[in-house]
Structure 1
């Protein structure tokens, strides 16, 4: 070995020994310790303050979308059940052999009271039919008729308003009906204008009328009624030779009718011992006899405000919707007074 090379190897070994010893002497044992826990301190952020002139606007709540139309969902496991108590609409099949009415009519636009009216009809699927005449919705006459044909039915002179007929075929679930309404022409004119909508029962009649105004109403006497037509005169008999007391005190009845019983041969015209205050009058003769003899009439009417008027006027009657009769009377002041049935109402229906 070369002396130089040997020397270099010895020198390297000495240096390594020296370095290793120094590292061992300098090493210090290290004991691990846990890291300190750092607790963060929260930072308080101040709340925003609105200017005094700013108003908060609350956004509207969103509206849930409405379901749109479309086919109903089909159950996966068959049809759903119908709850008990809920009716299911079902269209009954039409029976082609069921009785039916093809037409039911007449040959006039309006019937004349007292003249017959002709009915015509045609039906199918039946061997007979029935025609009813109705009075305010009530069946009061009937005719058993053939499935097809015509029928002449008499009417009364007193018929007013409409004629109502009902054609019926079949029975039970196969029953078919058809109602025919024929208006009645009004052959009679009123004695005043404008006339009421109702048609008079008879022509107006002229008669003696006595009228007197009172503090709370008026009294009217309708005299005897004579007419060339006996049937017309008979229709006014219930209203003739009668004193009517009409009250405007708001109590019931609104008017009363008292048959005239005054006899000038035995009854005084007035009560001499009674002297009314200035400006008032004691009724006399027919009116006075009722006024003196009926306490209710006297207390409700009060005293007369003018002497009685004796004149020739008109009386006429007309049917009401409830089957009664309304009375129309000429008044001394050229108006017309209407008295509804049963003392219900009286009123002035035409201006002076």
Structure 2
């Protein structure tokens, strides 16, 4: 008997008898279902293979209503956060991940990206030589560092059209074997939905 990995490959193997039962302890990281394959052969060498999927009870809940129909990969990550609107997208900071998500709405790929927040207190918050157009502002601190040092980000986002907003946020991801999606609580209480492979994003009602 084999245990199948979430991607479908054979993984662990056990020799089992023709009759009886078998105990298997569910791993804390397993989600949605766990699948087994049983192979049996007679004296002539003819064999049969059957699989069975055991549906698992999800140990964690989504932090928002009307979620995906799949279990979250983990409990929600609660964190300090910040959000800022730009001419052509948004920036979102998740403190406990030390990460900044950049969402573009210019129609080009990738539709979003993620960067490590490398700004440290005591280093310059902005570049005084950069003068925003009337009604616009230059992003500062972690947002500003990425905006200044990543030409693609600055070109695609444009200038910020308001200051950053600090708030308490939450983040969760789906638990597929690959191609997972990310959900982040927005400053207005709605949900940022970041699609797999940076292929798109939208904002859904929380």
TM-score, scaled relative to structure 2: 0.91
Matches within 5 A, 1:117-266: 131-135=1-5, 136-170=7-41, 174-224=46-96, 240-265=97-122
- Secondary structure in 1 aligned to 2:22? strand
SS in 2 for 1:145: coil
Distance 1:336 1:250 in 2: 20
Deviations 1:111-165 (A, max 9, x none): xxxxxxxxxxxxxxxxxxxx11112321111111111111111221121121111
User: In 1, distance between residues paired with 2:49 and 2:180?
Assistant: 32
Give the whole-Å Cα distance in 1 for the aligned partners of 2:2 and 2:120.
Answer: 52
- Compute the displacement of 1:299 (Å): 0.3
Cα deviation, residue 324, structure 1: 4.0
Matched residues, number: 204
1:331 aligned onto 2:186: yes
The question of 1:351 aligning with 2:205 is answered yes
Could you tell me how far 1:191 is from its partner in structure 2? Answer: 0.9
CA distance in 1, matches of 2:99, 2:139: 16
SS of the residue corresponding to residue 132 of structure 2 reads: coil
CA-CA distance at 1:187 after TM superposition: 2.1
Distance 2:197 2:80 in 1: 23
Q: Identify the match of residue 133 of structure 2 among 269, 277, 297.
A: 277
Q: Which runs of 5+ in 2 are unaligned?
A: none
**Take 1:324 and 1:153, find their aligned partners in 2: how far apart are those partners?**
28
Q: Which has the larger share of helix? A: 1
The equivalent of 1:295 in structure 2 is: 151
Q: Separation in 1 of the partners of 2:49 and 2:151?
A: 57
TM-score normalised according to structure 1 size: 0.55
Structure 1 residue ranges without an equivalent (≥5): 1-130, 225-239
SS in 1 for 2:144: helix
| 2-structure distance, mates of 1:324, 1:152 | 31
> Shift in Å at residue 347 of structure 1?
2.3
CA radius of gyration, larger in:
1
Distance, in Å, in 2 between the alignment partners of 1:204 and 1:290 is 26
1:205: Cα distance to partner? Answer: 2.5
- Provide the aligned C-alpha RMSD in A: 1.8
Name the SS for the 1:298 alignment partner. Answer: helix
